[in-house]
Amino acid sequence: MADRGVEILCVGTELLLGSILNGNARWISERLACLGLPHYRQTVVGDNEERLKSAVLESADRSSILITTGGLGPTPDDLTTASLAAAFDTPLDERPELWREIQDKLGSGGRPVAASNRRQAFLPRGADVLPNPLGSAPGMIWSPRPGFTIITFPGVPSEMRAMWSATAEPWLRLHGGAAGIFASRQLRFTGIGESNLAEQVTDLFEGNNPTVAPYASLGDVKLRITACAADPMAAESLLDPVEADLLRRAGQYCYGRDDDSLASVVLQLLRDAGETLAVAESCTGGGIGAAISAVPGCSDVFLGGVIAYSNAVKQKLLSVNPKLIETHGAVSDPVVADMAQGVRKITGSDWAVAVSGVAGPGGSSPDKPVGLVHLAVAGPDGCVAAAERFGGRRGRDAVQQLSVIRGLDRLRLRLLNRLPMSQS
């Protein structure tokens, strides 16, 4: 079955219009890679029955498994299930147990259930239900032709992922046709560009089992190690020496693995030490605090922060010395160091991160161009401030995001090194 591979078909006019990002395809692709299933093609079609039917029939001629997302809702533009049935001249049958389940989910608290939701209880004759533990739209696993199976998911990412983990992935492990058991591990790096990291580990990209593949995003590079063996333990054991080699070569840039984030790693380091954190932000507008507070359970470490855009707020709330602003400007090492010390004092935190910069597109000067950002980390062993130059060509959002990343990574390195620092 696996010889013909797996395809992904994402349904939704909003995807074609660019109204939403196609994160589902990326997530499914990663999971297919972990399962060792060959994945050859992705397609996006709008909410149009004829184009949907055409895309499905084309896939049936060249693939073994078609995974679809989107178009399972109750509205008139949710056409996936009906279009799939029509493509293979198969009638739709109502599943009474599905309709009861939909009513139970949507009717809790005495709310009326719209009649249109009933269409979600219809599946092609012969299809197996792919249960949806979170939402009202069930999916299906259906083989309309010998050697060709369709697996459908709703477009809501949380629902799709829950259905994948509970039902689809176990099915694919049994029936997807992968040879052997695959294990995968992802190392996350920051503070180094993809090309520079690749130069340090380029020989490892040539391996067949395990394989090493890079994935880059703004301020972040990931190396995925994948191995295949007869059983899970053997596959995992193949990953260990490669991971050790990668860390030996570039470990100073590696902040975590798999689902770690810089914020979650920093919080755990602080938690292990019994220490707390506060932030003072100017150009990031609360971005560092948002990254930290996105981590569940952060409240035992993260005390809070101050967004201080104006000089007056820097002086009044953070006790920044006005002479420092007058002499050096708000975007400077002395000012950002004062911001860090100030927020540490008012919150009583052990550590503080502060940032001030020129995010653009305006507000620059010859000596302080767009992309110039000053960051400070203050802690029990002192306060250190230094500048970063991200450049303005990437735009305001990129400067802010990179500032958040560098601020958290500077704190991470301080926490790891725990060396005495000179005062700024």
pLDDT on residue 19: 94
Looking at the structure, do residues 89 and 195 belong to the same domain, yes or no?
no
Mean pLDDT on 158-184: 90
CATH code of the domain containing 315: 3.90.950.20
Strand partners, 354: 280, 376
pTM: 0.80
Flag whether 289 is in a domain: yes
Task: Specify the pLDDT at position 33.
Answer: 80
422 falls within a domain: no
Of the pLDDT bands very low, low, confident and very high (cuts 50, 70, 90), residue 1 is very low
Position with higher pLDDT, 35 vs 157: 157
> What CA–CA distance (Å, rounded) separates 360 from 8?
39
Nearest to 66 by CA among 4, 123, 128, 131: 4
- Answer yes or no: do 130 and 85 share one domain: yes
Is residue 48 located within the same domain as residue 93? yes
Q: Based on the domain organization, do 344 and 297 belong to the same domain?
A: yes
pLDDT at 420: 45
The answer to the question of residue 69 being in a domain is: yes
| 199 belongs to a structural domain | yes
Q: Does the pLDDT of residue 423 top 60, yes or no?
A: no
Residues 244 and 220 in one domain: yes
Q: Are 389 and 372 in contact (CB under 8 A)?
A: yes
Looking at the structure of the chain, the number of domains it has is 3
Range in 83-92, 241-250, 385-394 with the lowest mean pLDDT:
385-394
Please report whether residue 423 resides in a domain: no
Confidence of residue 178 (pLDDT cuts 50, 70, 90): confident
- Residue pLDDT, tens place only, 60-73: 999 999 999 999 99
pLDDT in the model for residue 330:
97
One domain, residues 156 and 186: no
Q: What angle do CA 318, 321, 325 make, to 5 degrees?
A: 105
pLDDT tens for 8-19 read 999 999 999 999
Mean pLDDT of 263-288: 98
Q: Are residues 236 and 204 in the same domain?
A: yes
> Which range has highest mean pLDDT (273-277, 362-366, 389-393)?
273-277
- The boundaries of the domain holding residue 219 are 181-257
CATH number at residue 229: 3.30.70.2860
Q: Are 269 and 359 found together in one domain?
A: yes
Alpha-carbon dihedral sign for residues 357, 359, 362, 365:
positive
State the Cα–Cα distance between residues 319 and 341, nearest whole angstrom.
9
Average pLDDT over residues 306-320: 97
pLDDT score at 3 = 58
- Residue that terminates a domain, selected from 242, 257, 272: 257
Q: Is the pLDDT of residue 424 over 60?
A: no
- Asked if residue 412 and residue 272 are part of one domain, the reply reads yes
* pLDDT confidence band for 183 (50 / 70 / 90): confident
Spatial CB neighbours of 352, under 8 Å, sequence gap ≥ 6: 277, 278, 279, 280, 340, 341, 343, 344, 376, 377, 378, 379
Q: Greater confidence, 37 or 292?
A: 292
Quick: pLDDT tens for 315-328. 999 999 999 999 99
Both tokens of 84, joined, read 């799939």
- Scanning the structure block, which residue is given the tokens 């010395």? 321
- Between 2 and 220, the higher pLDDT residue: 220
In the prediction, which pLDDT does 73 show? 93
Judged against a pLDDT cut of 80, whether residue 154 lies above it is answered with yes
Spatial distance between the Cα atoms of 59 and 66, rounded to a whole number of angstroms:
7
Q: Considering the domain boundaries, does residue 350 fall inside one?
A: yes
* The last residue of a domain, from among 257, 275, 299: 257
Q: What is the mean pLDDT of residues 325-338?
A: 98
Asked if 233 and 294 sit in the same domain, the reply is no
| Average pLDDT of every residue of the chain | 94
Range 324-339 average pLDDT: 98
Q: How much is the pLDDT for 275?
A: 98
Q: Is 424 a domain residue?
A: no
CATH code of residue 121:
3.40.980.10
Q: Are residues 245 and 271 in the same domain?
A: no
Phi, psi of 81 (to 5 degrees): -60, -45
Q: Establish if 339 belongs to a structural domain.
A: yes
One domain for residues 111 and 9:
yes
Instruction: State the Cα–Cα distance between residues 159 and 70, nearest whole angstrom.
Output: 11
257, 290, 313: which is the final residue of a domain?
257
- Of 44-48, 134-138, 181-185, the range with the lowest mean pLDDT is 181-185
Residue-wise pLDDT tens digits, 208-244 = 999 999 989 999 999 999 998 988 899 999 999 999 9
